[in-house]
Structure 1
C-alpha cells in the first residue's frame, strides 16, 4: 500500500466544535478501514498545522476520496502528499540510469 502524510488545519467551525474532534477522528479511522486503508498515526501539532496524520491506502484515488469527504464536513482543511518509505526510496534511486 502507498503511504500518505496529511497536514490538517481546523476551520472556524472545527475549532468551535473541537470537543467533538475525537469522535471525528474515530470516523476518519473507520473511513480508511472501509476503503481498504489504515490511518497509521495521528499527531496533534503546534504551528502552521493543527494535525498531522500518516495513513496507508491502496491508491491515490482512495486517499483523495477520503480527504474530500472529510473536508466536505466543514471541520478541517487537508493537504495530503504521497510519501515513499526508505526501501521505496532506495528502489527509486537505484532505478536511475
Structure 2
C-alpha cells in the first residue's frame, strides 16, 4: 500500500483543548484512519512551520484525501502538506526505467 507523510498545523482551538486536556492523539488518529483503510506508522509533534507529522499507509490516494478532508472538516487541523513516499526498491526501478527509456525530451537550458 502507498505510504504518505502528512504534516499539519493545529488550529488555535485545538491547541487550547490540548493544553486543557493533554493527549498524545495517537489512539484518536489511528482509530480515525481505520475506516479509510489507513494504518498509522509514526506520529510526532513538531517545531517550526508545522505542528505535527505522521507516516501512514492508505490503500490509495482517494482514501488518504478522504481521511484528511474529514479531519479538516471537523476543525482539528489545517494547512496539510502531504507527501507520497516511495519505497527504495520502487525508486530504483524508476531510475532503471528512466535509463532504458528513449525520449525526445531535452532541457530548456543545457
Normalised by the length of structure 2, the TM-score is: 0.78
Moved over 6 A (4+): none
Q: Which runs of 5+ in 2 are unaligned?
A: 102-110
Structure 1 48/59 Cα, relative in aligned 2: closer, same or farther at 3 Å? Answer: same
Secondary structure in structure 2 of the residue aligned to 1:79:
strand
How far, CA to CA, are the matches of 1:40 and 1:79 in structure 2? Answer: 17
Q: Which of 83, 86, 91 is the equivalent residue of 2:85?
A: 83
Task: Decide which structure has greater strand share.
Answer: 1
Within-5 A mapping of 1:1-97: 1-19=1-19, 20=21, 22=23, 24-77=25-78, 78-96=80-98, 97=101
Q: Secondary structure at the match of 1:17?
A: helix
The TM-score normalised by the length of structure 1 is: 0.88
> How far did 1:59 drift?
0.2
Q: Secondary structure at the match of 1:27?
A: helix
How many residue pairs get aligned? The number is 97
Consecutive unaligned residues of structure 1, counting only runs of 5 or more, are none
Assess, with a 3 A threshold, how the Cα gap between structure 1 residues 54 and 22 changes in structure 2: closer, same or farther: same
Higher Rg of the two aligned structures: 2
